[in-house]
Amino acid sequence: MRQLSFGFSVPTEPQHSPGGEVAPRRGLLIRDPYISDILEGRKRWELRGFATRIRGRLGLIKSTSGRVFGECVLRECIGPLDLDILLHSSEIGPHDLLELQRAGELPYKNPEGVSSTYAWVFDDVRVYPEPIPYRHPSGAVTFVDLARAVNR
C-alpha cells in the first residue's frame, strides 16, 4: 500500500469487487432514502452543498450501515443550481423533489442566500449482490478510502 500526500492510499495489489473486477478505491457516504433512490435507478443527481473535482468510480455507502451497497461513476459536477432547475429535473429523485417542494427553497445557500447547491452526476450504477462491510474511519464525513477500510 502506498500512502499519498493528500491522505489517500493506493493499493499496490488491485482490490476486487464481488464481480471480480477492480473495485473502487473511494466510497461516497449517502443517507437513506437518497442512496436507495440511486441504487434503484430513480436518481442520478446527488445534491451537495459544494462542488467536487473528483471523477470516476465510487463505492456507494449507506451512511451508518458500515456497508458498501454498490458503485457508480461520478461523471460531472454541475452548479450552482437554482430552485426552478431542480424542481423540473427528473434526475434528482422522488425524495429530493418532495423535500424541495415542501421547503420551497434551495437546500444549500451561502449566507447571502445565493445557491451553493451542486449536482454530482452519476452513471453506470451497479448494485452489489451482497453489501461489502467496511471499517468506518474516524472523521470520514463525505468520502471513505475503501482501499484501507475494506477487508478483502
Mean pLDDT by 10 residues, the chain (152 residues): 36 48 85 98 98 97 95 98 97 97 96 96 96 87 88 60
User: What is the reported pTM?
Assistant: 0.83
Determine the Cα–Cα distance for residues 135 and 101; give it in Å rounded to an integer. 36
Q: Is residue 5 part of a domain?
A: no
In a domain, residue 85? The reply is yes
> In which domain, by residue range, is 58 found?
24-149
DSSP, collapsed to helix, strand or coil, labels residue 87 as: helix
In a domain, residue 57? The reply is: yes
In a domain, 17, yes or no: no
What pLDDT, on the 0 to 100 scale, is given for residue 140? 85
Cis peptide before 33 (omega within 30 of 0): yes
List 2's β-bridge partners, or say none. Answer: 10
Number of domains comprising the chain: 1
Position 93 in a domain: yes
The pLDDT of residue 17? 53
Give dist(CA 50, CA 15) in Å, integer. 29
- Which pLDDT does position 139 carry in this prediction? 82
Q: In this structure, what CATH number is given to the domain that contains residue 134?
A: 2.30.130.30
The answer as to whether 2 is a domain residue is no
118 in any annotated domain: yes
H and E: helices and strands count for the chain = 4, 8
What pLDDT is recorded for position 7? 37
Q: Is residue 19 part of a domain?
A: no
Give dist(CA 60, CA 77) in Å, integer: 17
